[in-house]
Structure 1
Amino acid sequence: MPNSALRLIPGAIDRFGARVHAVEGRQWNDATPCTEWTIRDLVNHLVGEHLWVPHLLAGETLEQVGDRYDGDVVGVDPVRAWDEAAERSLEAWDGADLSGTARFSFGEAPLTVYADQMLVDLTVHEWDLARASGQDESLDPAAVGNCLVYARANAERVAGLGIFAAPVPTASTDPAVQLLSMLGRTV
């Protein structure tokens, strides 16, 4: 059975893209729940992540890709930059063979883990972007469910990476609130 994250990634890319397209011109420098990032910074992060996808799924190493996606990758048109990166990413994910491994900044990992991490990144940052730009904050239940399973199973490792803020306690039974809280968001 194919990795469920792989099946959910195309929809997550589309949903994030719809949110990018809804950002109004004056909002690009607004703050996000990611305390260090503006909306533009957040989109820049996702564009960079999705520019890497074709390379990593094709078996290229970090060294081979180098620093070509460091810094500002959205230029003067963040929407166009997202659309182009998303298209390349979708092509790479379509029918991708996730049986191998790749070397990431945190070490070597199965490509199935990469797919799970990309789905988490897309889903949580979709909410960040929605919150920052005043859009509907609801998330896809299937994506949330997959991300919550991954986040719970990897909570200690994820916390050690320092890529998300510390968990925020919650008594909510809503899976989206649980996921977002686990990954440092105050909902």
Structure 2
Amino acid sequence: MAHAAVRPALPDDAAEIARIQYDTWRAAYTRILPASVLDGLDVGAAEASWREAIDDEATLVSVAMEGSWTVGFCVVGEAPAAETADAAGTPAPDAAETGLIATLLVEPRWGRRGHGGRLLLAAGEQLRARGATRGITWVPIADAASLAFFKTAGWAPDGLSRTLDTGERTIRELRLTGGLDFHVVE
């Protein structure tokens, strides 16, 4: 394997991040997302959104590299209080110290090479540096690979789920939570 690393994303990475998102969703989420959603993905619009996210100081975007190839990315930031809330809508007592892993994707052809673990390790470091003591993320129930990945990292469902409406079907997601002291997860 070539040298593998994680680094902060730069505005010039936006196109590659959008491509990875597009390719990964089309390869790994065909059973989760309706075909119309996948067919409607606009890589140009996604690139513009990723460029904005990279430029936003509240959001930390990192990319995983293998040699000169960008193979994955992760987006973290402060968890909005509503994202930490219980079923009654009451924010968690530690909402101000809760970070959000909004997205962590590794292109499937680069999977099982430690890139997800390195991204997770960097996410934990970034969130701790911003004062977070724990993190949350939302994962579709049908995404067994991501659920297993976070479980291996010590995260678990906290009992809350949500339903997203795609217009054609609904997607159930579990909220996972855990500490931010990660060790590399292969």
TM range (shorter): 0.3 to 0.5
What TM-score comes out, normalization by structure 1 length? Answer: 0.38
Kindly indicate which of the two structures has a greater share of residues assigned to strand: 2
Q: Which one scores higher on RCO, CA 8 angstroms, separation ≥ 6?
A: 1
Kindly indicate which of the two structures has a greater share of residues assigned to helix: 1
